[in-house]
Structure 1
Amino acid sequence: MRIYRVKNYHDLSLKAAEIVSEQVRIKPECVLGLAAGSSPIGMYQQLIERYNEGELDFSKVKTVNLDEYCGLGIDSVQSYAYFMHCNFFDYINIKPCNINIPDGKNPDADAECTRYEKVIESLGGVDIQLLEIGRNGHIGFNEPGSSFDSTTHCVDLSYSTIDANKRFFSGIDEVPRKAYTMGIKTIMNARRILLIASGIHKAEAVHKAFFGPVTEQVPSSVLQHHQDVILVADEEALSLV
């Protein structure tokens, strides 16, 4: 595991963008595992800037996103599909056919999860998977207690996750209670994992994930067993280390 301690969120975004940019340059047809949420926004802005300056070409890149709320699709401003287009995809030259996100509108959970696993397999796996970390140590929407052997599945979101995400909705009652997410086994199959963390509110989760025991009660702790993990975190997120 490599740890990059940076000063603040801006520096975190620069470093994360540098790592992803290197992957795209080395392997133009790479498969990027992406995440929606507030933490990656700065990184996406940096990647867009590099694209606009002619440094990056996404025309051969394929992407797979970690998760999506059940019941929401790209027509919903709260969906992760909508987020990804508004914050990244619409500003680069990626081909729409190369974008893959779980279909939150599919009411058949088993069918959707099977389909998404087959998509990832058909692409040859993920070259680098971007992750955030939840305050309770979740990665993707894999809540505490999730099996380390899980593949893409439908999950009931914990109250802490629902509460953390209510700021994106008109109120807590509007936050979906279920989501489709890559499972922990699916995440661990990525050839490289990049986890970003910013802010004092992530310090305890980061400490437990990377310096505590490996346990399903802290889903992110499984990353200690991955052969190629990069943690990019600011001083506040690493304040307990």
Structure 2
Amino acid sequence: MIFLRNKTEVAQWAAHYIMTKLQDHPGFVLALPTGRTVIGLYRELKELHRAGNLQVNHIRATFNLDEYVGLGPTHPGSFRQFMIKHFVVPLSFPEKQFHIPSGIVDDLTKECQAYEEAIRDSGGIDLAILGIGQNGHIGFNEPGTSFKSLTHVVNLTPGTRRANAYAFGDRAKVPTQAITMGLSTIMSSRELLLLATGPRKRDILRKALKGRITEECPASILQLHPQVTVVTDQPID
């Protein structure tokens, strides 16, 4: 675990870690999150790119962890638009190498299967960057999600919808479902990087990393991964 003083230091550390990985490993495949915790990370990556230090051409593909069901690709609350704003445009990243599920297809099951196939065809995920929800979710894998889950459709809990209302102005406008990369898919990544900032994450981080491994706390599965790094500004000892 890497313990730093504040969220700015967490973002800077993570950005430089990713930069080093890309320098050493051309053809890297990343799994990327959304949300307020990682806005600082993407800002730091933009600055590294602007300075000419970030080897964006070493990224073979990116796969986002999730997308809302029912929101089109141009909807301002969609995660596609979040990533266009904070990652694709600032880093001049080719959209053809940027992957995110579609939440408006007729057959969501086929979309989930196709996403899994795309990840496999890319050679698998080298580094998955994760956040953690206050109920222990990673991606949108809510409590009770099977540890064996692949990419799937999930019903979002009221707490998760409330936490994401900032992008919509009203919790009632937050979609009730999402497509999310499954826990088994995330755990198949060669390496995991979990970022957690702010006092609201302290208790759940302690539970996830030091508590019982259980599907009621999805992030507790991270204890079973052979190569996971946690970067936080919250002491949990």
The TM-score normalised by the length of structure 2 is 0.97
Structure 2 match to 1:181: 180
CA contact (8 A) 2:25 2:58 kept: no
Structure 1 match to 2:35: 37
What letter is aligned with 2:11?
Answer: S
Alpha carbon RMSD of aligned pairs, Å?
0.9
CA contact (8 A) 1:34 1:64 kept: yes
**What is the DSSP-based 3-state SS (H/G/I as helix, E as strand, rest coil) of the residue aligned with 2:75?**
coil
Q: 2:30 aligned with 1:27, yes or no?
A: no
For each residue in 1:63-104, what CA deviation from the matched residue of structure 2 results, as whole angstroms up to 9, or x when unmatched? Answer: 000000001132111000000010111011322110000112
Superposition deviation, residue 105 in structure 1: 1.6
Structure 2 match to 1:216: 215
CA contact (8 A) 2:71 2:104 kept: yes
Structure 1 match to 2:143: 144
Alignment of 1:40-59 (within 5 A): 40-59=38-57
For each residue in 1:97-136, what CA deviation from the matched residue of structure 2 results, as whole angstroms up to 9, or x when unmatched? Answer: 1000011221311111001000100001001000000000
Moved segments of 4+, more than 3 Å: none
CA contact (8 A) 2:23 2:58 kept: no
* Structure 1 gap segments, 5+ residues each: none
Query: Which whole-Å CA distance do the structure 1 matches of 2:229 and 2:72 have between them?
Result: 31
What letter is aligned with 2:146?
Answer: S
Q: 2:155 aligned with 1:156, yes or no?
A: yes
Superposition deviation, residue 60 in structure 1: 4.0
CA contact (8 A) 1:223 1:229 kept: yes
Structure 2 match to 1:128: 127
CA contact (8 A) 1:33 1:128 kept: yes
Query: Which whole-Å CA distance do the structure 1 matches of 2:12 and 2:144 have between them?
Result: 33
What letter is aligned with 1:9?
Answer: K
Query: Which whole-Å CA distance do the structure 2 matches of 1:11 and 1:84 have between them?
Result: 22
Structure 2 match to 1:11: 9
What letter is aligned with 1:16?
Answer: A
Superposition deviation, residue 171 in structure 1: 1.0
Instruction: Give aligned pairs, total.
Output: 236
Query: Which whole-Å CA distance do the structure 1 matches of 2:13 and 2:55 have between them?
Result: 19
**What is the DSSP-based 3-state SS (H/G/I as helix, E as strand, rest coil) of the residue aligned with 2:219?**
helix
Structure 1 match to 2:170: 171
**What is the DSSP-based 3-state SS (H/G/I as helix, E as strand, rest coil) of the residue aligned with 1:224?**
helix
Deviates more, 1:119-128 or 1:70-79: 70-79
**What is the DSSP-based 3-state SS (H/G/I as helix, E as strand, rest coil) of the residue aligned with 1:91?**
coil
**What is the DSSP-based 3-state SS (H/G/I as helix, E as strand, rest coil) of the residue aligned with 1:193?**
strand
Structure 1 match to 2:67: 68
CA contact (8 A) 1:50 1:56 kept: yes
The TM-score normalised by the length of structure 1 is 0.96
Deviates more, 1:101-110 or 1:206-215: 101-110
CA 1:63–1:88 in structure 2 vs 1: closer, same or farther (change >3 Å)?
A: same
**What is the DSSP-based 3-state SS (H/G/I as helix, E as strand, rest coil) of the residue aligned with 1:68?**
strand
Superposition deviation, residue 7 in structure 1: 0.1
* Structure 2 gap segments, 5+ residues each: none
For each residue in 1:12-69, what CA deviation from the matched residue of structure 2 results, as whole angstroms up to 9, or x when unmatched? Answer: 0011111111111111210011001111111111111111111112124110000000
Q: Percent identity?
A: 39
What letter is aligned with 1:144?
Answer: P
Query: Which whole-Å CA distance do the structure 1 matches of 2:56 and 2:216 have between them?
Result: 37
What letter is aligned with 1:35?
Answer: P
For each residue in 1:129-172, what CA deviation from the matched residue of structure 2 results, as whole angstroms up to 9, or x when unmatched? Answer: 00000000000000000000000000000111011111211311
What letter is aligned with 1:64?
Answer: F
Structure 2 match to 1:89: 88
**What is the DSSP-based 3-state SS (H/G/I as helix, E as strand, rest coil) of the residue aligned with 1:64?**
strand
CA contact (8 A) 1:137 1:219 kept: yes
